[in-house]
Chains A and B, each alone.
Chain A
Amino acid sequence: MTDRKAIISVQNLVKHYGDFKAVQGLSFDVYENEIFGLLGPNGAGKTTTLEIIETLRSKTSGQVLVNGLNVETDANAIKQIIGVQLQAAGYYPNLNLLELLKLFSGLYGVDVSPIEMLAKVNLQDKAKAKYKELSGGQKQRFSIATTLINSPKIIFLDEPTTGLDPQARRNLWDLITEIRNNGTTVVITTHYMDEAEQLCDRVAFVEAGKIIALDTPDQLIDNLIASGFERKKEVKAANLEDVFINLTGKEWRE
């Protein structure tokens, strides 16, 4: 594992908002072609860290390299090789999805077929719809489509599954896995442990601006068990979510 190539390297990243220390010395590498998860409670500093890597926010100190490019000096070159889904973002008013994708292909300076982009996220039926007319899951999928326009090396997804129903979540996992299988590195944030466990190759637990653990989900669990931990309740072979999925099916819902 250790000989894998780091495509993102974050060292001693610090971010202060005035007196408030949101990020306090984070260090981690993201390897090429993995799904890397940042996990943590609200206010842990996940979005802040992500947006610093995306060159959208300035850092207080530390070093961040993306594909060997420095966020301070090569912001524009970095923007050309990454795709960004923001935790909160809007899209140009009064335009339908096709027109929005055309706009983005202009902004990225590439020629892509908007309808093919929509097909990638299974939204071709909504080509003429406005963004605000989409359901939550459709919105997230559309946002992911916009991150793929410039065939990026890395995409950043900030809580893409928050607020989605279990099917929509699992479908999004499939989509994200597919994107990774096509050669793209994925950095994702989430609050959901099951999501991290099933989707991510490696996860970092962030709390109060610090990384408190970083490894593969398996390894983290094994470490815990090795320390003598035992679940209080007996583990059943299925959980309530499995019941729900079993009852409602796994198809695209929206």
Chain B
Amino acid sequence: MSKTYNHTKATLALAKASFRSITRSPSAVIFTLAFPLIFIVVFGFIGGGGVKLDVAVLPGSDLQNPIIAALEKTGVVRLTKNDTQQNIDKSLEKGAYDAVISIEKNPNGLPAYYTNVKYTSASLTNGNVLKSVLNDVVGKLNTVNQKPTVTEVRATTVTGREYRTIDFILPGQLGFSLLSTGVFGTAFIFFALRQNLVIKRFFATPVRRSSIVLGEAIARIGFALLGALFIIIIGHFAFNFTLINGAVTVINMLVLALIGVVVFMGFGFVVSGLAKSESTIPPISNIITLPQFLLSGTFFSINAFPSWLQPISRALPLTYLNDAMRKVAFEGAGLWDVKQQILIMLVWGVGIYAVAVKTFKWE
């Protein structure tokens, strides 16, 4: 009768049950998969698979030059050559133009042309894309001419890879998906298990508390990572999301996702402990998720925020997850290259779990 009790078996039984339960819970599926995918689809189609940059050419600019020709050839830039100065300024303010460009012939020889670009804070993301396009174009032109080029151009030459809206949007949506699964999912399930006395019935079995937490965590992390993989795969095959190093990039992204969801689950544990009733969970969770959703560069680069807001953005864990994801996916960075972002997330993790241990309630 006194056979040895198997804690691993208990943990796995719980993980399996929890995973089943999650896949049947509409809110988990909506937040983890549906919302992110909807945004990805919407932005994927708006972007038409790639960014279109609206650039006005200033009246009086030189038009017959290799730079204009090369920009037109990229297919990314839509040049408007006959707008008035007044109209250009207005549109620029509204973000209808992403930038205005004017090219002057250099009367003194080399470089042959000066390219003046004015970006707009109304469209900083596209501005950044234009910057990389310009650098690419200029870099190519300079090498074609085989002439020594101005050093500053070389220094800022970036990889002229096509940066699509999806490359920005997908990592942000992935971060958001992980955040909601981690916070809402964890908060709701532990609150519900406690409130509905499910935990109490568990306690009448020989299962350890650590097995309950671990089993839940395995299920939730598994679900979040499968969701992330699904989003990445859809993004890649349907919308040409850039995965520079293929499978390696995917694995790196999943490792980041794992770190992210573990940290966010810490918030979930805290919320489940603080919530007095089921209806207080969404507001408390929103206090945690909404600012990150808005301020962590999910939709806009945080560079687009006013400077007083940026320090707040830079304090949030999701900012670093998004940042690391984009670097890994688009720039092909390895995990070691984003160690700073990972470190900040881990610091958040340690902090939040310290709070969770204090606030978490079993009954």
Contact = CB atoms under 8 A, between A and B. Distances in A.
Nearest to B4: A109
Interface in A97-133: 99-100, 102-109
A103 B200 contact: no
Interface string A63-100: 00000000000001101111010101111111100011
Contacts of B196: 90, 93
Contacts of A76: 5, 206
A56 B21 contact: no
A109 B25 contact: no
B204 A94 contact: no
A34 interface: no
Interface in A18-69: 54, 56
B309 to A, nearest CB: 39
Given A90-B196, A93-B25, A94-B24, A106 B5 contact: no
Interface string B1-41: 11101100110111011101100110000000000000000
Interface string B190-214: 0011001110111111110000000
Given A79-B204, A84-B201, A86-B200, A107 B21 contact: no
Contact of B198 (A79, A84, A90, A106): A90
A77 B2 CA distance: 8
A81 B5 CA distance: 12
Interface in A136-187: 146, 150
A77 B3 CA distance: 10
B5 A109 contact: yes
B204 A99 contact: no
A107 B208 CA distance: 9
B21 A92 contact: yes
B13 A105 contact: yes
Contacts of A109: 3, 5-6, 9-10, 206
Contacts of B5: 76, 80, 109
A74 to B, nearest CB: 11
A56 B197 contact: no
B21 A106 contact: no
A143 B38 CA distance: 42
A76 B206 CA distance: 5
A98 to B, nearest CB: 11
Contacts of B198: 89-93
B215 to A, nearest CB: 9
A107 B18 CA distance: 13
A90 B206 contact: no
Give the interface size bracket for B toward A: 20 to 34
A108 B211 CA distance: 12
Contact of B17 (A54, A81, A82, A99): A99
Contact of A107 (B1, B14, B20, B192): B14
A155 to B, nearest CB: 11
Contacts of B6: 109
Nearest to B21: A94
Contacts of A100: 17
A90 B189 CA distance: 13
B210 to A, nearest CB: 13
Nearest to A106: B13
B358 to A, nearest CB: 22
Contact of A86 (B3, B17, B197): B197
Nearest to B196: A90
> Which one of A89, A105, A109 has the greatest number of beta carbons of chain B within 10 Å?
A109
Given A89-B198, A91-B198, A93-B21, A106 B12 contact: yes
Contacts of B16: 102-103, 106
B27 to A, nearest CB: 11
Contact of B205 (A79, A99, A102): A79
Contacts of A91: 198, 201
Contact of B206 (A79, A95, A99, A103): A79
A90 B197 CA distance: 5
A185 B264 CA distance: 47
A85 to B, nearest CB: 9
Contacts of B21: 92-95
Nearest to A81: B1
A94 B20 contact: yes
A102 B348 CA distance: 37
B205 A108 contact: yes
Contacts of B3: 109
B200 A107 contact: no
Interface of B: 1-3, 5-6, 9-10, 12-14, 16-18, 20-21, 24-25, 192-193, 196-198, 200-207
Given A80-B2, A107-B206, 11 more contacts: A77-B2, A84-B204, A93-B192, A94-B21, A94-B24, A95-B20, A106-B9, A106-B12, A108-B206, A109-B206, A150-B205
Return the 3 tightest CB-CB contacts between A and B, nearest first. Answer: A106-B13, A90-B196, A84-B204
